[in-house]
A = this chain, B = another copy of it.
Amino acid sequence: MRHYVKEEIESLEKIYRLNLINGISGYKPANLIGTVSEKGITNLAINSSVVHLGSKPAILGFIIRPATVPRHTLENIRKTGVYSINHVHLAFTDKAHYTSAKFDKDVSEFQKAGLTIEFLDDFKAPYVKESEIKIGVKLQEELKIKSNGTYLIVGEIQHIYLPEEIIGKNGILDLNLVEDVCISGLNTYHSVVSVAEYPYARPGDFPIGI
């Protein structure tokens, strides 16, 4: 068993610390955040921090680090008030990952990565056509995390697009069917296979897989 204490973590070599701490939280969702600038330039950025915040209202959050990444995504969201969240599938992890390169502001990551811009139902933010699960989100709040100056961006779901066949009983989604991937650390992508589904847990009823 390896044990790291706070002081040792602080003194680790930078790349080593980045990999270790980015990996330590467990598997992360793989999403592409789509935005558009006031000038009409589309932007697309891989993100592994989308988090469920609540279902009524239906709100999602994600983390953005203005100090370390180009701010195009955050700028665009502030200006237009909207963004899209698009799931990443096994077939295009390479293209999704490439959106993390620091392209110039006048360049669209859609074009660079070879992903297709799709506009739906008059929503201002672009979706990824190749993504089977697309969410249109409206900015609600920006919360600044004092500890390091990052932001939790909170938004309300306006639109959801997904294939009918992945919607199971009681609205349970089968993300395996569309080959959604997850991420660990900064650069490893994984395929995922369901192993157990449990009922709502109640005291006295130890969960038996469905």
Contacts and interface: CB of A to CB of B under 8 A. Distances in A.
Contact of A157 (B6, B150, B191): B6
A58 B9 contact: yes
Interface stretch (A34-42, A72-80, A166-174): A166-174
Given A1-B162, A195-B181, A206 B19 contact: no
A93 B172 CA distance: 18
- Interface residues of A, dominant DSSP: mixed
A202 B23 contact: no
Chain A interface size band reads: 35 or more
Contacts of A50: 25-26
Given A54-B147, A189-B196, A26 B175 contact: yes
A12 B171 contact: yes
A105 interface: no
Contact of A196 (B93, B145, B176): B93
A210 to B, nearest CB: 8
Give the one of A3, A28, A188 with max B CB within 10 A.
A188
A97 B207 contact: yes
Contacts of A65: 54
A24 B193 contact: no
B53 A148 contact: yes
Interface in A1-26: 1-6, 9-10, 12, 14-26
